[in-house]
Amino acid sequence: MAAASATVIVVVTGLLAVPAAARLPRPDPQGKAAIVVDARSGEVLLDEGADERHQIASTTKLMTALLVLERARLDAVFRAPRYEADAVESQIGLKTGERMRVRDLLAALLLESANDAAATIARNVSGSRRAFVRDMNARARALGLRSTRYQNPIGFDSARNRSSARDLATLARLLLRNPTFARIVDRPAARLRSGARRRVVRNRNNLVVNEPFVAGVKTGHTSKADFVLVGAGERRGARVVSVVLGAPSEAARDESTLALLRWGVDQFRRVRVVRDGRPVTTLPVDGRDGERVGLETSGAVTVTARRGRRPTLLVRSPEEVQGPLPAGSRTGAVEVRDGGRVLRTAPLVTSAAVAAPEPLADLRTPAGLAATAAVVMLVLLGGAALVWVRSRRSARRGAAAVGGR
């Protein structure tokens, strides 16, 4: 058992091999603005005009998706309102009054970028398109998306429907934490099983189809927004989000996004911070003069770390260990940190058996001697008090006997 808890910071030395520089050169994306962020921490890795406001086309539908995910069940059924689409619009051909589950509407919204799916979501979530736009803007303010303003739930060209690369990356990071959203945007196609007829929608993001490490997120294109793509990539435990706004062509948009995502994940490496069987720290054994026991993890600890950075180990353990304990007894934990962010937590166990305290071990320390002396003093005082009480009782009995005569 532990006597008291303490926190010890151990800076790892000799256990890490973190490459100092990335192999890939910094990309030069084509477009009006771009950003790459660490999807988990939000740290910006690349910034090219990331706070400039631009029209964002169908990436507007990311906020549409967020609101329906937050406000409706996936198995809820929505009824399609009347929607008259232009011939060039992306749609799935919902008829007025047609009923479709939210799960399928999301797939149509995010993969096919269906405008009639967006209109159906807006009407059913907020009661009207205008009310839904108000809700979109309120949610953007609540999330701190300072460069974002919505005018419609679809992404039609409008000077009042704008955002920035930074805001879109923030929104994508939030959405990717939702397992349903993450699964949908990482699929090349989906079969819609509700509605008046069966439909198949295909992902307009060709990078998801052609590049295994690309995991989403949403394309967009209008005549004024040009070509837009919010992307996500995963490799070796790293996940990054990229945004390209205002690319001159679909090919340029895809090429720039692919370069950004490859470069982004290349900023990270899997590194072993604790080797199997190597103690992280040692602790003194209570009642065993000079003895210490190692604390180790049950196996090697590996994390995904930024290149050129050396994570630290924050050990949370008692000040000493008290036996008897068998080897492998859990005694504290270790946190692998990158600055203030915890990359991983692993339990610490004793590397060997811990013996019980030696007899009279407490007498070897000043504190132990003081405690023992106090106990002895209390015993002596208690004994003296008992003798005094008994003598008083005997005296009273003697006096009573004399008076009775």
Check residue 197 and give its pLDDT.
96
Q: pLDDT value at position 277?
A: 86
CA distances from 50 to 24, 139, 147, 166, 391 (A): 21, 20, 10, 5, 92
DSSP string, 27-93: P---SSEEEEEETTT--EEEEESTT--EE-GGGGHHHHHHHHHHHS-TT-EEEPPP----TTS----
Tell me the per-residue pLDDT of 54-79, one tens digit each, with 9 for 90 and over. 999 999 999 999 999 999 999 999 99
How confident is the model at residue 37, as a pLDDT? 98
- pLDDT score of 42: 96
Residues 99 and 93: their CA atoms lie apart, in Å, by 12
Whether 13 shows a pLDDT value over 50: the answer reads: no
Domain definitions of the chain by residue range? 1-19+267-381, 33-247
Residue 17: predicted pLDDT = 47
Architecture label for domain 1-19+267-381: Sandwich (2.60)
Q: Is the peptide bond before 19 cis (omega within 30 degrees of 0)?
A: no
In this predicted structure, the answer to whether residue 101 has a pLDDT above a threshold of 50 is: yes
Q: What is the mean pLDDT of residues 90-110?
A: 97
Q: Which fold has domain 33-247?
A: Beta-lactamase (3.40.710)
Q: How confident is the model at residue 22 (pLDDT cuts 50, 70, 90)?
A: low
Q: Which residue has the tokens 């927004």?
A: 225
**pLDDT 10s digits, 238-292:** 999 999 999 999 999 999 999 999 999 999 999 899 998 889 999 999 988 889 9
| Mean pLDDT, residues 9-13 taken together | 49
Q: What is the mean pLDDT of the chain?
A: 89
Q: Are 316 and 333 in contact (CB under 8 A)?
A: yes
- The pLDDT tens digits for 347-405 are 999 999 999 988 755 555 565 556 666 766 776 777 677 777 677 777 666 655 555 55
pLDDT at 297: 94
The answer to whether residues 349 and 329 touch, using CB atoms and an 8 Å cutoff, is yes
Six-digit token string for 94: 């919902």
DSSP string, 338-401: ETTEEEEEEEEEESS-BPPPPTTGGGGSHHHHHHHHHHHHHHHHHHHHHHHHHHHHHHHHHHHH
- The pTM (predicted TM-score) of the whole model is 0.82
User: What secondary structure letter does DSSP report for 173?
Assistant: H
SS3 assignment, position 108:
helix
Query: What is the per-residue pLDDT across 168-210, written as a single tens digit (0 to 9) for each?
Result: 999 999 999 999 999 999 999 999 999 999 999 999 999 999 9
Q: Give phi and psi for 327, each to the nearest 5.
A: -60, 145
pLDDT at 129: 96
pLDDT of residue 4: 44
Asked if 1-19+267-381 and 33-247 have one fold, the answer is no
Evaluate if residue 14 carries a pLDDT over 70. Answer: no
Q: How much is the pLDDT for 185?
A: 98
Displacement of CA 137 from its chain's centroid (Å)? 25
